[in-house]
Amino acid sequence: MCGIVGAIAQRNVTGILLEGLKRLEYRGYDSAGIAVLDRASGAIACTRRSGKVAELENALAAEPLDGTIGIAHTRWATHGKPEERNAHPHVASSRIAVVHNGIIENFEQLKADLQAKGHQFASDTDTEVIAHLVYDQLQQGVAFPAAVKATIAQLHGAYALAIMDREQPGLLMAARMGSPLVLGVGIGEHFIASDPLALLQVTDQFIYLDEGDLAEVTLDGVVVRDRAGETASHPVQRFEHGQDAADKGEYRHYMLKEIYEQPAVVEAVLEGRLGSDKVYEEAFGAEARAVFDRVKAVQIIACGTSYHAGLIAKYWIEELVGIPCQVEVASEYRYRKTVALPDSLFVTISQSGETADTLAALREAKESGFLACLTICNVPGSSLVRESDLALMTNAGPEIGVASTKAFTSQLVALLLTTLVLGRRHGLDPAVESELVGCLRGLPALFTQVLALDEPIKALSEQFADKNHSLFLGRGAMYPVAMEGALKLKEISYIHAEAYPAGELKHGPLALVDKEMPVIVVAPNNSLLEKLKANMQEVSARGGELFVFADKDAGMVAEEGLQLLPVPESHTLLDPLVYTLPLQLLSYHVAVLKGTDVDQPRNLAKSVTVE
Ligand code: AGP
């Protein structure tokens, strides 16, 4: 998705802007650009390129920019093809330069009105109208900050904006509505970014803008006004993640690094949240106790991988808490008439905290009679966290690979903590809570054992690289694990992958089974194992090739048509966590063999902040 960086300093800011764009690359983009006020001439100097930030970097190496104030952008096309002329910054009449994340819904009408007044447009984007609207105000004698204010009052839709005026070399304007934006605080220099990660090379001090905020950013400081025009005094917050979070270190890809971080991530999710034999409910916030005391049902909403985490939580909640739990993808939920069960807790799950559909569903839910809204989220200060009553941070650290790995397992751990806190109020045996707390403490070590399967999984992956289709099977809570395995394989290796609850095979998908379609099975030693074995027989009988991840006590033996990978034993309720890691590794190695762009798969973006 798009990324914004802005800077005002006493030094050339081009390098800072470029580094910021590189740090935002993980979000997905198709073009990039930088504009500065040229130090020598005072004119706007703008360089844009379609493709990777490296293309822009090459262009800047050939023709460097030099300015102490500038804005920059990585674009993920929504209006207009991914071409250089549609890349940001967009400049109106050589005076106003704009970078924008989000979507302006009424841009066609605004553009027609501006064209009628004689404004000439150079792109197909919605963004360019913003530059012209500001310029139009300036032409009417309105000062730059007021011109920006008058402009955003005309915009319908979502935006995060950084705007520069050639005639105001000491001032950047920033605005936020529906798309995240932060201000970075330095000493005698200030910054703007859509994600703090973009600025960690220059500061770890941030001001998180609220919806409707408009900020004036100068060398000496920032002034933020809320939507009512009142001065807002947001605190300066220190960024908590390590400075090296955006560094691949010894790993070939961020995805592999993030897979290997999972033992440490589990420790981070559990830190400060476990007593000797219970989960501390205070971890959920000051009002949590009063809310949890009343919860009689749960509605979970999320997208993609986070949705799969929700599906697994449904099994946990209905089994351990004994209350109804419904799970739905946000993009469907937000557009249908829904009914909240009495005393129902609305739960969103999101790595980024900015997913547009999930955020919209939360906003709907707040008007729909839910008891309270809890978010399970990885990004402090994100929109979901700010707009929910309760938040449980997953503490996974920045996830750079587009394919979600450590964020997923951290969400599962957080959801299990939530289940235990709710279970306590619904008669869950304290001994069961205590046992699961012990198992959670042992999970980092168990994860380390599972990661030791990397080499055999790498060897196995060679049998997938020439395949076009695959089927993932599981039963019970392992069905969503299979769904997540299939999503991982398809998004990074581009192999078509489908997941089915194994009992559904005979109702259709069995027709697909032949030697060319690997069938991957997650088979822990649980109460459904015998049923699952019968389903596997259905595959074998049709000449299908089975790749089975199973616990050593599952009583399975490798034979022709059945390859076996033993997975360490765990508590049944923790199996979804344990069996996820081998599937992540399998997808990773298949993608590497296929030579795809593992960290930035085609057509995808890390943080989906538009609908
Ligand atoms: C999974 O690998 C993807 N990155 C995607 O499905 C993702 O989980 C989804 O877009 C939801 O994102 P969120 O967790 O940031 O809300």
Query: 306, 307, 331, 362: which to mutate for ligand 1, most atoms within 8 A of CB?
Result: 306
Positions marked active-site: 2, 606
pTM of the model: 0.74
The pLDDT-based confidence of 243 (bands split at 50, 70, 90) is very low
- Pocket flag, ligand 1, residue 525 (CB < 6 Å): no
| pLDDT at 105 (0 to 100) | 82
| pLDDT at 27 (0 to 100) | 59
Asked if residue 103 has pLDDT above 90, the reply is no
- Pocket flag, ligand 1, residue 350 (CB < 6 Å): yes
The pLDDT-based confidence of 571 (bands split at 50, 70, 90) is very high
DSSP classification of residue 83: S
Tokens 């990885």 belong to: 378
Note whether 156 and 104 are within 8 A (CB): yes
Cα of 598 from ligand 1 centre, angstroms = 15
- Pocket flag, ligand 1, residue 411 (CB < 6 Å): no
Who wins on pLDDT, 166 or 80? 166
Asked if residue 241 has pLDDT above 80, the reply is no
* Lowest pLDDT segment from 16-30, 285-299, 466-480: 16-30
Mean pLDDT throughout 530-542? 90
Residue 511 burial class via C-beta count within 10 angstroms: exposed 0-12, middle 13-18, buried 19 and up: exposed
Cis peptide before 480 (omega within 30 of 0): no
pLDDT digit string, tens, across residues 423-446: 999 999 999 999 999 999 999 999
* Mean pLDDT of all residues belonging to the chain: 93
Mean pLDDT throughout 320-340? 94
- Pocket flag, ligand 1, residue 580 (CB < 6 Å): no
**529 vs 546: CA distance, rounded Å:** 15
**492 vs 402: CA distance, rounded Å:** 9
Cα of 334 from ligand 1 centre, angstroms = 17
**330 vs 308: CA distance, rounded Å:** 12
Asked if residue 380 has pLDDT above 80, the reply is no
- Residue of 570, 340, 337, 601 whose CA lies nearest to 491: 601
